[in-house]
């Protein structure tokens, strides 16, 4: 994709019937001033689908400073939900999004906003997600897209979609991580009282409540594992620390996190490796050892699989 001339410019679409919660997430992450970032933080604008006051969920109205011209000029364009999966999308909005993408803009949707991005045709043949309640309807309306209701967010050629409601925050933090690195994403996550990255997908939220005592038990395990990522940690060892049989541990861990124990552990090691690459001058082999991957090849494989970039390229982009 082309490089956008104003990479920190962010615009969020306001429309009649605006989804207030999804809109608020975007404003919270990208629209709040962060003096500690100086002039390097995002330049944020709300852009209206059409002139005049727009109704928002909850009984109030929004009047934006910008319109479709300003929306199309932004490097990152966010669609915070939509009037409905089956609601039509105005042609001028679609034209604006297509032209912006061709110029190098990132297009991002939260929840039902995936319907807007799918309507552009830019996601034909690509994987998308939305709230699990809307997945079948989205797939029926746009048969050329591949709807995956089991993930929190997707990325394809500069077009990003997120699952329902709070998964929008996961995607927003992912974008912050890409733009500024893990340390800044962690800081933003802490201000939101959120983890900077969540494992698993939507399946963990569908009719499978987890008892508080399970979360408390695994919270201890999480701390235990994170404090010794450089060691050899087997599933049997994790099960023993949780005082469970191997079979029971795997079942309960996946129910609680939406991810198998081994996948969760790899994710923690990748995040620790990212932190070391950002904040230390350790060589790649040493980082691999410290994180428990053993060899630089192992680190490179998992790093590229999870983050889509090599450790060396990541350090070059995010080291501070």
Q: What is the pLDDT of residue 183?
A: 81
The token duo for 211 is: 């008892």
Q: Look at phi and psi of residue 209 and say left if phi exceeds 0, alpha if psi is from -120 to 50, else beta.
A: beta
Q: What is the DSSP string of 222-267?
A: HHHHHTTTTS---HHHHHHHTTS-HHHHHHHHHHHHSS-HHHHHHH
Given pLDDT bands bounded at 50, 70 and 90, which one contains residue 215? Answer: low
CB neighbours (10 Å) of residue 229? Answer: 17
Query: What would the pLDDT profile of 49-71 be if each residue is shown by its tens digit?
Result: 999 899 999 999 999 999 999 99
- Region 294-315: mean pLDDT is 88
The token duo for 284 is: 């790649």
- Region 4-14: mean pLDDT is 91
Contact 116, 143 (CB under 8 A): no
Given pLDDT bands bounded at 50, 70 and 90, which one contains residue 226? Answer: very high
Q: Does the pLDDT at position 165 exceed 80? A: no
Q: Does the pLDDT at position 275 exceed 70? A: yes
Query: What would the pLDDT profile of 227-242 be if each residue is shown by its tens digit?
Result: 999 999 999 999 999 9
Residue 73's alpha-carbon distances to 92, 97, 107, 109, 178, in angstroms, are: 14, 10, 12, 17, 20
The chain-wide mean pLDDT, for the chain, equals 88
Give CA 168 to chain center in angstroms. Answer: 7
Quote the CA–CA distance of 204 and 217 in Å, as a whole number. 18
Strand partners, 25: none
> Quick one: what percent of the chain has pLDDT higher than 90?
62
């Amino acid at each position: 994709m082309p490089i956008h001339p104003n990479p920190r410019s962010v615009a969020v679409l306001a429309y009649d019937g605006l989804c207030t919660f999804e809109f608020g997430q975007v404003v919270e992450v990208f629209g709040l001033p962060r003096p500690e970032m100086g002039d390097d933080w995002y330049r944020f604008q709300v852009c209206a689908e059409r002139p005049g006051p727009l109704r928002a969920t909850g009984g109030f109205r929004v009047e934006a400073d910008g319109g479709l011209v300003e929306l199309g000029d932004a490097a990152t364009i966010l669609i915070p939900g939509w009037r409905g999966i089956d609601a039509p999308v105005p042609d001028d909005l679609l034209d604006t999004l297509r032209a912006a993408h061709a110029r190098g803009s990132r297009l991002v949707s939260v929840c039902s906003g995936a319907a807007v991005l799918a309507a552009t045709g830019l996601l034909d043949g690509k994987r998308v997600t939305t709230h699990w309640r809307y997945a079948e309807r989205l797939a029926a309306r746009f048969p050329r897209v591949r709807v995956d209701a089991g993930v929190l967010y997707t990325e394809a050629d500069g077009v990003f979609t997120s699952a329902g409601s709070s998964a929008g925050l996961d995607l927003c933090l992912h974008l912050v991580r890409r733009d500024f690195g893990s340390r800044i994403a962690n800081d933003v996550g802490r201000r939101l009282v959120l983890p900077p990255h969540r494992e698993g997908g939507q399946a963990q939220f569908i009719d499978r409540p987890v008892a508080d005592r399970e979360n408390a038990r695994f919270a201890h395990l999480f701390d235990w594992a994170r404090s010794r990522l450089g060691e050899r940690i087997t599933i049997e060892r994790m099960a023993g620390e949780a005082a469970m049989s191997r079979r029971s541990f795997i079942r309960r861990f996946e129910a609680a996190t939406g991810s198998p124990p081994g996948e969760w552990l790899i994710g923690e090691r990748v995040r620790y490796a990212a932190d070391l690459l950002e904040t230390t001058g350790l060589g790649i082999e040493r980082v691999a050892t410290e994180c428990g991957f053993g060899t630089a090849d192992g680190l490179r494989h998992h790093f590229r699989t999870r983050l889509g970039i090599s450790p060396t390229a990541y350090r070059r982009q995010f080291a501070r």
